[in-house]
Structure 1
Amino acid sequence: MKLTPTSEKELLSRARDIAGLTFGELAKEANLSVPDNLKRDKGWVGQLLEWHLGAQAGSKPIQDFPDIGIELKSIPIGYSGKPLESTFVCVAPLTGVSGLTWQQSHVRNKLSRVLWLPVEGEREIPLKDRRVGSPLIWSPSAEEELWLKNDWEELMEMIALGGVTRITAHSGEILQIRPKAANSHVLTEAYGAKGQPIKTLPRGFYLRSKFTSYLLETYFV
């Protein structure tokens, strides 16, 4: 893995250096094998990009580049130029959430400064031939942060009141909570409607594709 970048300018320069290259070309330089598909290797693209950009955080609940305060997010793009799926932000806390505020939240920390990297995502394109797009470094405007904050507070209130099992993929305008587990046997602790401890699937915060589509249309010029 390359050394961690020491500035936003250095990180952006590295991201621009890999723009236009294929996953195959990038994997060869990183001495990584390219899987046939991503069904069993969902995190492979992220790991490949992290290697080239020098991200150090791994799976820790901190920004990918904590020293310069930047998170890395890739967006699979279709032929239409639109995102093909929602974007994972971070794991959602299901216990110990009383008194937690938006200012303290992992979601706000992760999304305070983001390096977005569009990548070709159409399944008919062989993985080795998919290319990396041009990078964008973004921080939410006051209005965008308010949208995120409103959704976060609504979702966290449901969790705090024991309503985690009532949260659906339709809850939240641009930020949603969905199950995130390797399989249905992975369970974690939460609280039910009567305050009783329950076991449920781990959850994660995701940005809806309509929001990332809006970001691409608004900021990529």
Structure 2
Amino acid sequence: MLSLSPLRQPPEDEAQLLAQAGLLAGMTLGELAALAGLPIPPDLKRDKGWTGILLELWLGASAGSKPEQDFAALGVELKTIPIDRQGRPLETTFVCVAPLTGNSGVVWETSHVRHKLKRVLWIPVEGERAIPLAERRVGSPLLWSPSAHEEAQLRQDWEELMDLIVLGHVERITARHGEVLQLRPKAANSKALTEAIGANGEPILTLPRGFYLKKNFTGALLARHFLL
């Protein structure tokens, strides 16, 4: 039985997850926060992950900050995606932290990126800054797995980026590397350093990096499924 209240237990199957996500479509973040008893921040500058936390609460996500999918029993990852009036993504989508050491023998098939992206529940949310946070509406959900073509794109970029990391060129990687997947610093401040491999194979300290999906990839995905 589905009702408009947060799921207290993780969903039993994909059908229940998708049905619950469908109930949220058209609701504002303010309405959902009030019903869930979650305070609304003035904006997302200091609370970037707030929208995701709110929707995890409603959908019964179990992973929290653990390195597994948000709905581990179903093998489904939740990704909220801020969109403009035309339904286009407003920013890149974080996938996972990139490993900068201990990468010998790592292959795409067992990579964290592939694990996180093999089944994703996308939930578009209005993201234009002109709309107050509480008034932004949740869009229709989309349950997605990469097509053979999408997986080939992701794999190619991942392999090229990992080769650069392993060869000690992490400092030379920019957000322009990769057609659909990019690697860029992910740290709250510039003092949070982590170990990596230098150009001569020596250990160095650098900013942590994360894998992100570029807007051209997520934009095409949304356009194809919502016929934008």
Percent sequence identity over matched residues?
64
**Cα deviation 1:100-153 (Å, max 9, x = unaligned):** 000110100110000000000001100000010000001011111000000000
Cα distance in structure 2, aligned partners of 1:97 and 1:60: 21
How far did 1:164 drift? Answer: 0.5
Q: Which residue of 2 aligns with 1:181?
A: 187
Give the root-mean-square deviation of aligned CA atoms. 0.8
TM value normalised by structure 1 = 0.98
Unaligned runs of 5+ in 2: 1-5
Q: Which amino acid aligns with 1:108?
A: R
Q: How does 1:68-217 map to 2 (within 5 A)?
A: 68-217=74-223
CA deviation string 1:154-198 (max 9, x = no partner): 000000001110100000000000100011010000010001000
Match of residue 3 from structure 1: 9
1:152 partner SS: helix
Pairwise CA distance, 1:78: 0.8
1:4 maps to amino acid: P
Local SS of the residue matching 1:157: helix
Give per-residue Cα distances to partners, 1:68-111, cap 9 Å, x unaligned.
Answer: 01000011001222100000000000011111000110100110
TM-score of the two chains, using structure 2 as the length reference: 0.95
**Aligned pairs, number:** 221
What SS class does the counterpart of residue 115 from structure 2 fall into?
A: helix
Q: CA deviation at 1:59?
A: 1.3
Q: Corresponding residue for 1:219?
A: 225
**In structure 2, what is the Cα distance between the partners aligned to 1:186 and 1:27?**
32
50, 65, 86: which one pairs with 1:59? 65
